[in-house]
Chain A
Amino acid sequence: MPVTTNSFAMGEMLAVLLSRDMADGEKAIVGTNSDIQVAACNLARQRQAPHLWWVSGPGGMTNPTEGIIRPAADAENIAVAEAVMDLPQMIDFIDWQVHFFDFAILGALQTDRFGNINTVCVGDHAKPRLRGPGTVGISALCGLSRRFYIMMTRHDRGAFVPKVDFVCGAGFLDGGTARTDFGLPEGGPRLVVTPLGVFDFEPKSKAMRIKSLHEGVTLDEIRDNTGFDLMVPAKIERTANPEDEELFLLRRAVDSTGVLARKFPWPKAH
């Protein structure tokens, strides 16, 4: 298990890791129930990306930055937004336009070796063992945005499977050039962030690869908790923990009521 420190919560760590990868001037979309995503975008705006533009998928508010993390659909975001768009207009760039968004951040019930995403069901669709919530905009965001991030709040063999039971968001499909062969634009998953580490995709095979392991996490532990063979680079980095400055800004300017610490603590040791 990671060294579950009292100095920051899992949700805070994931938000910091995601925010570091965002660039100034990029355009992003945040879906429903996305506390960590909201935090990551607003933290990036506080640091290296002051002109990052993000929009609430369901609510249409742009850049609501109040210092309190609220559900993205909430009316309270209106009073602190720069604009409020209506969903039917937003559909034009969410569901059809190629590369309007630089990135989206998506959670999932399952992800697989090639970064495909499943939020629909575990088991056969006709009679699933677990019925999930459904696809919503994930299909379009995985398919059409310039890149996407997979954010998993659990890392185990139930969530990291050889092949997802239902593709509701296309990653690299069957790997290699399968994604572009199908007719999807360039893009796909860039990073996977979990309570155990950070992962990317090997450029040729498009298979998931270890990028860095969080403090206290071993290679064996990652292998035990992943349902397929991860690619292992010659040298495995150690994830840089959130710095004091990052945590200070996160807690003072982004999440001043401590939503992340309350809702996303570290998982308990087995």
Chain B
Amino acid sequence: MPASNKSPSKKLVDLDTALSTVKDGMTLGIGGWIFHGQPMALVRGLIAKGVRDLTLVPAPGSVAPDMLIGAGCVRETACVFISFEHLGLAPNFRRAAQSGAVKVLEMDGPGIAGGLRAGACDLPYGLIPDLGTDLPKVNPEGYRKARIQEGNRPLLEVPAIKPDVVFLHGQQADEEGNVQYFGAGYFDLLMAQAAKHVICSVDRIVPSSTVRHQARLTKIPSAFVDAIVVAPFGAHPGGSPGLYGQDEQHLKAYVAASRDQAAFDAYLGEHARGGEDAYRERIGAKALAGLTTGDAR
């Protein structure tokens, strides 16, 4: 297309427009890794919107799945790994799993990788070795004895994972939706390939020339991206690799506020329902600046 005819990007949209595609009962994939690259602005927006009955497929994560579960948005969640690492177990996930309020689809690395690969490749299922775990006992639909068995290694089928929507967080993108990562990409590209609809938040939008200058940083090319949302500090209270670290103080306060549902509802009222401008104002410029310089660690 000649440059003169080029229309403005339709992918760069505001948070509410991006989230309008997410409906009750959908399967939602979440990228990142534990406290890294958690798409928190998208998660808070979804909580404010009041979406219900989601099935989550989170990559190993922390506060993103935990907050959606604590906000009552989730009917069932896959669990490969949901942890607050040195801050303990994921508090809302733990409470919901122990009470049975949320059904847990127990998974492991081979299960999610095999399922996402099958989804990305339009194949019905992936083939993984049976590693002798109890996973097939508690998640028989997720781990089926394979119809084809060869050699002495027992094999399992894991059904394709095709999330309706996936949420990712990168550090920067251009208006076309080429998303760049300053750290590891984790499962993010695989999730984008497997999902039907991909929403990426980024801390900032940069010119195309900046993206082209270091094209190796582009982990999610624009063809895989449906919507880009500019969300400065959109991974807070987690970290955005290369830009800011996780907010230990806020995460501790989050864990404390998760002691019971009433306290957590109050947290959500203060932090998740007022929009991102109000959120950043509440966290405060000084605290956020401290995270970018490492002062707050």
Contacts and interface: CB of A to CB of B under 8 A. Distances in A.
B132 A143 contact: yes
Interface stretch (B123-131, B207-215, B250-258): B123-131
B241 A75 contact: yes
Contacts of A136: 60, 80-81, 108-109
A33 B108 contact: no
B109 A140 contact: yes
A137 B108 contact: yes
B183 A168 contact: no
Contact of A170 (B106, B113, B131, B182): B131
A167 B93 contact: no
A96 B110 contact: yes
B185 A86 contact: yes
Contact of A87 (B93, B107, B187): B187
Nearest to A87: B186
Interface residues of B, number: 50
B146 interface: no
A142 B184 contact: no
A94 B107 CA distance: 16
Select the residue from A95, A127, A130 with max chain B CB neighbours within 10 A.
A95
B83 A134 contact: yes
A126 interface: yes
B185 A135 contact: no
B106 A143 contact: no
Nearest to A120: B106
B245 to A, nearest CB: 9
A126 B134 CA distance: 13
Dominant SS among interface residues on chain B: mixed
A173 interface: yes
A147 B115 CA distance: 27
B82 interface: yes
B34 A73 contact: yes
B6 interface: no
A68 interface: no
Interface stretch (A10-18, A179-187, A217-225): A179-187
Interface in B68-107: 79-83, 85-86, 89-90, 93-94, 97-100, 104, 106-107
B33 A58 contact: yes
B253 to A, nearest CB: 21
A120 B128 CA distance: 20
B147 interface: no
A91 B109 contact: yes
A134 B79 contact: yes
Interface string B134-149: 1100100000000000
A135 B80 contact: yes
B182 to A, nearest CB: 6
Dominant SS among interface residues on chain A: loop
A135 B100 CA distance: 19
B274 interface: no
Interface string A81-99: 0001011100100111000
Nearest to B193: A88
Interface string A51-89: 000000011110000000001011100100000101110
A87 B185 contact: yes
B89 A96 contact: no
Contact of A73 (B33, B89, B104, B187): B33
B119 to A, nearest CB: 13
20 contacts: A32-B81, A33-B34, A73-B34, A74-B241, A75-B182, A75-B183, A87-B190, A95-B109, A126-B100, A129-B98, A134-B82, A134-B108, A135-B108, A139-B131, A139-B135, A140-B110, A166-B134, A169-B133, A182-B130, A184-B131
Interface of B: 33-34, 36, 60, 79-83, 85-86, 89-90, 93-94, 97-100, 104, 106-110, 113-114, 117, 128-135, 138, 152-154, 182-187, 189-190, 241-242
Given A133-B81, A134-B82, A166-B134, 14 more contacts: A58-B33, A58-B60, A73-B183, A74-B183, A75-B184, A87-B187, A88-B190, A134-B79, A134-B106, A136-B80, A137-B108, A142-B131, A143-B129, A179-B132
